Amino acid sequence: MDHSATTPVDPRVAEVVHNVMVNLFGNPSSVHSFGREAKGLLHQARERVARLINAQPEEIYFTSGGTEADNLALLGYAEANRSRGDRILISNIEHPAIRNASRELRRRGFRVEEIPADPYGMIQPDRVAQMVDSSTILVSIMHVNNEVGTINDIAAISEVVHRKGVCFHTDAVQSYGKIPIDVKAWGIDMLSLSGHKIYGPKGVGALFVRKGLELHPLLFGGHQEEGLRAGTENMPGIVGLGEAALLCQQMMSYEEERLTQLRLRLWHQISSKLPWIRLNGHPSCRLPGNLNLTFLGVEGEALLIALDLEGVAVSSGSACSSGSHQPSPVLLALGLTPEEAQSTLRITLGRGNTEEEVDRVAEIIVKTASRLREVAGVKEGVAVSS
Ligand SMILES: *Cc1c(COP(=O)(O)O)cnc(C)c1O
């Protein structure tokens, strides 16, 4: 139940990855039949990845994952458009791939400012409009937050950004393949996605770049990916990503509904039996499978370990880097205290999860949280602020 961290590879994806590795190992740059065969597979994958967001295949650039796509969008666009201005806006709850690429932008002399999310983790288009000025060249706001699952109104945000003539990027790693996205209808200029969050392989992703945009590459070498991403293509990964995208296309509306029902079931089972819990993120405008809960007076890490002992995987409200016990900067930015952030669990449901599993997890959480509170002597008097 930690699908926002990564997903198991769909067996149908694993099969095509295996087949490419063993039987279709040509280099798409080669002129002979092996190369042409690979080139055909590369194009088919590009079409499948593009179709899911209503993009053209030529607008998809394969990368080593969501992190590289985010870096290419920010650093690549900023470097290529330096003459037009030096200001870049991001939200204050972005993934480290955006946050730390922004730090590098500052080091290179750009000014990066953060647009604050509201307490639900939503970025209000009005706030964006207020902060875009004539020196701003790029705005990057994530579609779905990876911790609290809140979904942003990307069409409304991109509209206010474009009204000021500025380029708009979105990190859609958590939403791609799970909820509908339309880059054309929503006016998105650049969009990042990743394979391993959609039941595809790790180490592969893509950046959608609207036709006509100019980007500076991060890597220099051959002419692969129109010169924007040099290096022989990761064919097994790319074909696997294409297959994963196709499967998501087929299953999306069914899974969206099923996971929403599963999440509500989990929420009702926990909240009806356990007092002093709080739902983080937006109550309804959230990723179907995301449940982010604060258990006041309970150490989140202790809950996580109790679940782990039963073979159930979830995330806590600590920064995701292993070994780090700092409270999550995203939860702090949303107004949680460090104690509340440390009392938080992120449960993210996915394709393999069942009602039986949800019931069992609810039972373990209720039992463990009650026991931990008893041990800590937590009864009345826990500050409940919402
Ligand atoms: C996972 C994730 C990334 C990073 O993608 P990788 O493929 O793991 O590099 C970026 N942004 C968000 C929102 C993510 O959830």
- Mean pLDDT in each 10-residue stretch from start to end of the chain (386 residues)? 97 98 97 98 98 98 98 98 97 98 98 98 98 98 98 98 98 98 98 98 98 97 98 98 98 98 98 97 98 96 94 84 77 97 97 97 96 81 45
What pTM was estimated for this model as a whole? 0.96
Residue 322: the pLDDT is: 52
Per-residue pLDDT at 385: 41
Residues that are catalytic: 320
What phi, psi does 26 have (nearest 5°)?
Answer: -65, 160
- Provide the 10 A C-beta neighbour count for residue 329: 16
Residue 161 φ/ψ region, left for φ over 0, alpha for ψ in the -120 to 50 degree band, beta for the rest: alpha
Q: Which pLDDT value is given to residue 306?
A: 92
Measure 70 CA to ligand 1 centroid, in angstroms.
9
Q: What is the pLDDT of residue 177?
A: 98
> How far is 300 from 315, CA to CA, in rounded Å?
9
Tell me the CA–centroid distance for residue 4 and ligand 1, in Å. 9
Reduced to 3 states (helix: H, G, I; strand: E, B; else coil), residue 36 is helix
Residue 325: per-residue pLDDT: 77
In this structure, the residue with its CA closest to atom 14 of ligand 1 is: 173
* Residue 97 alpha carbon, nearest atom of ligand 1: 10
